Amino acid sequence: MNQQEKNEINGEKLQTLLERNYDAREGFKQAMEDTHNHDLKRFLFAKAIQRGEFIAELENQLDSLHEKAQKEGTISGTVHRAWIDLKTTLAGKEDVEVLEECLRGEKVILEEYQETLKKENFPGELAAVLQKQMLEIQKTLDEIKSLEDLEERKWDADKAFSSKI
């Protein structure tokens, strides 16, 4: 396989990750609109900014491979955001629902990174960028799990309290 063919294959894989990051950024922005909790809004805003940084890094890597970056997410990402909007509207935009959907999205993108890094042999700098991003996504996933657990305990406590009144 010549260098141009390797670049094209790597470019396709990067494009998939780029699209997933567009989806994640838009998902975090939407989730930010669906909560009234200012601390959660700040967290989601920071994650949307982070995904913008990931997008810039991936676009730079695509450019170095002489591949053109697509500037949008996936249809499944758009459908997922519509589902989040519907679900949170019906559920009253509870933070636990918002976090649940963020968690679902993070699991999808983490799996995409893991599969891509497992199947492909990327050159040094590119592999380092992808590995760093994957670790940050794992960290975000862990943070969202912790926030969701706190929200569920708060919701359970509120429910128990209101049933005793």
pLDDT 10s digits, 125-150: 999 999 999 999 999 999 999 998 88
| pTM, two decimal places | 0.81
Over residues 97-107, the pLDDT tens digits come to 889 989 999 99
Tokens of 114: 């893991």
Average pLDDT rounded to a whole number, residues 86-99: 69
Q: Is the pLDDT of residue 90 over 60?
A: no
pLDDT band at residue 47 under the 50/70/90 scheme: very high
Beta carbons within 8 Å of 40's beta carbon, 6+ residues apart? 95, 98, 99, 147
Q: Is the pLDDT of residue 10 over 60?
A: yes
Tokens of 77: 């990402």
pLDDT band at residue 8 under the 50/70/90 scheme: confident
Alpha helices (H) along the chain: 3-33, 38-64, 75-90, 95-119, 124-164
Structural domains of the chain ordered from first start = 3-164 (1.20.1260.10)
Tell me the average pLDDT of the chain.
84
pLDDT band at residue 73 under the 50/70/90 scheme: low
